[in-house]
A and B are shown apart, each in its own frame.
Chain A
Amino acid sequence: MNDEAACVLFDSGHRACGGCAAAMAARLILDAAGKDTIVVSSTGCMEVFSTPYPETAWNVPWIHSLFENNSAVASGIVASLAKQGRKEKVIALGGDGATFDIGMLCLSGAFERGHDFTYICYDNEAYMNTGIQRSGATPYDASTTTSPAGSCSSGNPRPKKDLPAILAAHGAPYVATTSIAYPPDLKKKVEKAVRTPGPCYIQIHAPCCTGWGFEGEKSIAIGKLAIETGLFVLYEMENGVVTRVKKVVRKPVEEYLIEQKRFRHLFKPRRNEAEIAKIQAIADRNAEKFGIDIKLKK
């Protein structure tokens, strides 16, 4: 993953936190997509930490307009390139707030119209740039600053929105989930998406040490646990059909939850068995739906 070309396209010196998975994602995305790529970023952590005027970390053409319009801006760029006979690939990049919530209208419109671009969401499961507020991608029971755990709340009351399914329902030819904890998987999926004509969607699970509450050196380990517990599933959908799934020997969700401050209220001051069981049930449903369990031979 420390491929020289990648480091050149998304350069060092940006202001991301140590251990930031979004920064790792940017590097891996460009490593896979290559230099003939135009990136359209939403407002958010990635945009802010990578482009404090007069500096930029991007050595590909890059544009940021607003929080919620990267898909629409990308639509215009794709149209413009087509008119000019240019061949650059277009990637719209947004956090989960920009993608799941405020940018949903533009995203839906761009996918319905079928523009040839790839939308990549770095999913760190809350509004991190503004200080860890809940989004439509925040998992059940996560404590955020707008869904705080309290005496009569166990954190975020709703499960994560199933955005890949929504975009697949738009007729997207290729939809995939991946994680920064699996760099080869991430790069392979980005390569496939940018190569596939039409609107493609990739959701990258990107643990946020600051927002989730863990030490920066654990980003990859936490990312792996999300997959290994079945709380985040790695899969590909082609023309609406799930074609590939990463199988795992599942671990109990507790091993993932206990590592993060955002779930601490489930363990302290006392274990909340009922809520932990509900989260385990979410993982169990994921496992059944996608068939991720590797059956060990006894």
Chain B
Amino acid sequence: MLEIMEGSHAVAEAVGYCRPQVIAAYPITPQTHIVEALADMAANCKIDAEYITVESEFSALSACLGASAAGSRVYSATTSQGLALMFEVCFNCAGMRLPVVMSIVNRALGAPLSIWNDQQDSISLRDSGWLQLYAEDNQEATDLHYLAYRVAEDHRILLPAFVCFDGFILSHTYEPVDMLTQEQVDGFLPPFRPYQKLDAADPISFGLFASPDYYMEFRYAIDQAMNRARTVIPEAGKVFSEMFGRDYSGLVEEYRLDDADCAIVAMGSICGTVKDAIDDMRNEGKKVGLLKLRAFRPFPVNEVQKALKGVSTVAVLDKNISLGSKGAVALEVRDALYGTQIPVHDFIIALGGRDVRKKDIAAVVAHAEAGKGDTYYGLREEVLK
């Protein structure tokens, strides 16, 4: 049933339907509405979860790690500085193969302090071994949580997962969302079945140290699980589509890309604006399409190659910057297209919440077609003086 809901509340409700047994989170803007809603649900017995009010994000994820190792389905949510504080634990969760699911309400990283949206936070954890899914709208933000738990806990994967959606732009926006029921979610997401757990009846040791004789093989095994996720995510997405009619069977989604000359590549809420801009440009006879990345980790190399095969120009919108290099998405796209003659133009855009309008997308396309990429879009020259 369609309901008009705030993004955060829709996500909180979806998380509740996933039946997490332990929730540990620390409040941080713009994630707060999610954890407040979950605390309220726990206080009114609408969810059967232990809610741990930790003293920091570092402890939030550490508590999730412990609870997951003890055999519980766990949940946390954070953003920006909070995610940065979790950095060490993030690598640990992945290394210990614990399927923690965490919402990342994307926000810029300081300094300067900014509470507004870009994707620098989750992008900066790209090498940590977490699956990374990005939502375009609140519908997708809710649905990806069901998907994330199912994939993360799959014994072929056993990796933690970020469900990323843009702070304020989605988290604080009211949109129609088709919420599943508890029965529907139960039909899609089986109860958590840990691969192994801390148990006095069957004592095992978690988190041993590895000498140079063993370390590389552990890292390789994580990478192999990431590779398997390239098929397990679409497989779960296909089941979801068949059950509920919304199609998440692709690691990427194409929009009017079939005959496009210029392809825009983007992730997250900006894709909505891009689609509208594309419709306008199409009306003017310009053949522009969108390749939306739903998964950033694993990176959908084959899908990107296939989708961009016929285009003559690629414009990547990066809401992040690997300082001293390029935007992270463009680097990946360029790598995927290595050996082809397709030019990939990178545009660093919308950092720290700077608004992006349809005319900005049209301008980006014009720049890309003129071969003027690898630049920041929309810098205010008067501020730089």
Residues on A lying within 8 angstroms of B by beta carbon are 35-38, 40, 47-48, 51-56, 58-66, 68-69, 71-77, 79-84, 88, 105-106, 108-110, 112-113
Contact = CB atoms under 8 A, between A and B. Distances in A.
B209 A63 contact: no
B62 A62 contact: no
B55 interface: yes
A48 B209 CA distance: 7
B10 to A, nearest CB: 25
Contacts of A65: 62, 65-66, 89, 92, 96, 207
B65 A38 contact: no
Given A59-B203, A61-B203, A80-B71, A66 B62 contact: yes
Interface of B: 21-22, 24, 48-50, 52-56, 58-59, 62-72, 74, 88-89, 92, 96, 198-200, 202-211, 214
B292 to A, nearest CB: 35
A51 B205 contact: yes
B66 A76 contact: yes
A47 B209 contact: yes
A54 B208 CA distance: 8
A61 B198 contact: yes
A56 B66 contact: no
Contact of A77 (B58, B88, B198, B207): B198
B316 to A, nearest CB: 35
Given A58-B203, A62-B203, A76 B55 contact: no
Contact of A75 (B48, B54, B199): B54
B208 A52 contact: yes
23 contacts: A53-B214, A54-B208, A58-B205, A61-B200, A63-B206, A64-B207, A65-B207, A69-B59, A69-B89, A73-B62, A75-B62, A76-B22, A79-B67, A80-B71, A84-B72, A88-B199, A106-B58, A106-B59, A109-B54, A109-B55, A109-B59, A112-B55, A113-B54
Given A63-B198, A109-B59, A72 B211 contact: no
What are the 5 A-B residue pairs with the smallest beta carbon separation, nearest first?
A76-B66, A109-B55, A76-B63, A72-B62, A73-B66
A81 B70 CA distance: 7
A184 B337 CA distance: 69
Nearest to B215: A53
A46 B21 CA distance: 31
Given A61-B205, A106-B62, 9 more contacts: A60-B203, A63-B207, A69-B58, A75-B59, A76-B62, A76-B64, A76-B74, A80-B22, A112-B55
Given A61-B200, A73-B62, A53 B21 contact: no
A82 B55 CA distance: 20
Contacts of A62: 198, 203-206
A52 B205 CA distance: 11
Contacts, number: 160
Given A72-B62, A73-B62, A79 B52 contact: yes
A47 B22 CA distance: 26
A105 B70 CA distance: 22
A109 B56 contact: yes
A57 B51 CA distance: 33
B198 to A, nearest CB: 4
Contacts of A58: 203, 205
A105 B58 contact: yes
A287 to B, nearest CB: 36
Which of A47, A52, A80, A113 is the most central at the interface, judged by chain B CB atoms within 10 Å of its CB?
A80
B24 A76 contact: yes
Contact of A63 (B52, B59, B200, B205): B205
A75 B50 CA distance: 11
A80 B72 contact: yes
B208 A53 contact: yes
Nearest to B51: A79
A69 B58 CA distance: 8
Nearest to A112: B55
A288 to B, nearest CB: 35
Among the interface residues B48, B74, B200, which one has the most CB atoms of the partner chain A within 10 A?
B200
A64 to B, nearest CB: 4
Contacts of A106: 55-56, 58-59, 62
Contacts of A60: 200, 203
B58 A38 contact: no
B70 A76 contact: yes
Nearest to A43: B209
Contacts of A80: 21-22, 50, 66-68, 70-72, 74
Contacts of B65: 65, 69, 73, 76
Which of B21, B63, B199 counts the most A-chain CB atoms under 10 A from its CB?
A: B63
Contacts of A110: 59
Contacts of A35: 200, 203
Contacts of B53: 113
Contacts of B206: 62-64
Contact of B66 (A75, A82, A113): A75
Interface centre among A54, A61, A110, A113 (most CB of B within 10 A): A61
A74 B59 contact: no
Contacts of B205: 51, 56, 58, 61-64
Contacts of B89: 65-66, 69
Contacts of B50: 79-80, 82-83
Given A53-B209, A53-B214, A56-B208, A105 B203 contact: no
B208 A108 contact: no
A79 B74 CA distance: 11
Contacts of B62: 65-66, 69, 72-73, 75-76, 106
A108 B55 contact: yes
B383 to A, nearest CB: 38
Given A38-B70, A83-B21, A72 B203 contact: no
B353 to A, nearest CB: 30
A65 B49 CA distance: 23
A130 B259 CA distance: 61
A77 B70 contact: yes
Contact of B22 (A56, A68, A83): A83
A72 B53 CA distance: 11
B54 A51 contact: no
Nearest to A55: B208
